[in-house]
């Protein structure tokens, strides 16, 4: 049975989709069956980040509306994908989205739901079937505050198992007190740390080149460590 994990941040551009793609790939590389669900209605990106955009025909909205079967809706690849619909529909309620996701639980080890920016309607739909959540923050006060707000909203929705990912971490500006350090991010979000992903330009290039970052790129190594921590192994937070 899959764990259903929401990836959210409140603020846009913190790296939710990049994290969803990276952690899904790391777990799949370790033999786990992973489904990634793009919940960013109208602004989908996971198909590009997973390199399957030319394979997308249907999306989870089509499945919810009965326009296709589950087999047709899922793009099968190293990481399976349910793409996001291109526009909202009144039928997209939290209950309906949750019912649409439920049958996939028994078929996967992990289901990651990539939330849109914000804590409004799209966030509520994305959170509808979440059992756990990861909040992704960059090490700055604006993003950290938005993660703290997202954490509060998750509590209201009954999602209490929440962990923090600090993304785009850079040592030099932190040492110069230009960015928040790891302890400050934890204290100000109030969320327990799951892992740290360094700033890695390779991540930015992959949606354009279609090439995923190499196995020794800093982000790939970080996702691999975080995947181990998700599986309950004791590994260091950052590379030594």
Ligand X SMILES: Nc1ncnc2c1ncn2[C@@H]1O[C@H](COP(=O)(O)OP(=O)(O)OP(=O)(O)O)[C@@H](O)[C@H]1O
Residues in contact with ligand X by the rule CB under 6 A:
9, 12-18, 40, 45, 116-117, 167-168, 197, 199-200, 203-204, 219
Specify the DSSP class assigned to residue 20. H
CA distances for 6 relative to 163, 165, 239, angstroms: 10, 12, 25
Q: Which does 219 bind (CB under 5 to 8 A by kind): Mg ion, ligand X, none?
A: ligand X
CB closer to Mg ion, 187 vs 205: 205
Minimum separation from the CB atom of position 202 to ligand X (A): 8
CB closer to ligand X, 16 vs 25: 16
Minimum separation from the CB atom of position 47 to Mg ion (A): 12
Angle at 151 between CA 150 and CA 157, to 5 degrees: 90
Rounded to the nearest 5°, which phi and psi values hold at 180?
A: -70, 145
Q: Which does 61 bind (CB under 5 to 8 A by kind): Mg ion, ligand X, none?
A: none
Minimum separation from the CB atom of position 107 to ligand X (A): 25
**What span, in angstroms and rounded, lies between the C-alpha atoms of 107 and 185?**
35
Rounded to the nearest 5°, which phi and psi values hold at 133?
A: -145, 150
CB closer to ligand X, 35 vs 117: 117
Minimum separation from the CB atom of position 17 to ligand X (A): 3
CA distances for 85 relative to 29, 111, 163, angstroms: 27, 18, 27
CB closer to Mg ion, 39 vs 75: 39
Residues that bind Mg ion (CB under 5 A): 16-17
Element (H, E) at 5: strand 3-8
């Amino acid at each position: 049975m899959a764990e259903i994990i929401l990836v959210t941040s409140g603020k846009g551009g913190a790296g939710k989709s990049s994290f969803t793609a990276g952690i899904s790939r790391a777990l799949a590389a370790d033999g786990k069956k992973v489904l990634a669900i793009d919940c960013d209605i109208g602004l989908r990106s996971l198909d590009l980040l997973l390199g399957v955009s030319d394979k997308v025909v249907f999306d989870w909205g089509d499945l919810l509306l009965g326009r296709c079967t589950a087999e047709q809706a899922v793009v099968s690849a190293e990481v399976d994908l349910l793409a996001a619909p291109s526009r909202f529909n009144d039928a997209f309620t939290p209950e309906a989205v949750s019912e649409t996701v439920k049958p996939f639980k028994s078929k996967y080890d992990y289901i990651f739901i990539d939330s849109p920016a914000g804590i409004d309607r799209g966030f509520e739909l994305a959170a509808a079937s979440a059992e756990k959540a990861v909040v992704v923050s960059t090490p700055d006060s604006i993003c950290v505050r938005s993660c703290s707000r997202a954490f509060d909203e998750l509590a209201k929705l009954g999602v209490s198992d929440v962990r923090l990912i600090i993304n785009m971490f850079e040592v030099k500006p932190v040492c110069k007190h230009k960015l928040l350090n790891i302890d400050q991010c934890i204290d100000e979000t109030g969320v327990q740390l799951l892992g740290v992903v360094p700033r890695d330009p390779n991540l930015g290039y992959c949606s354009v080149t279609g090439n995923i970052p190499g196995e020794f790129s800093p982000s790939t190594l970080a996702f691999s460590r975080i995947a181990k921590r998700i599986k309950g192994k004791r590994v260091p937070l950052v590379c030594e």
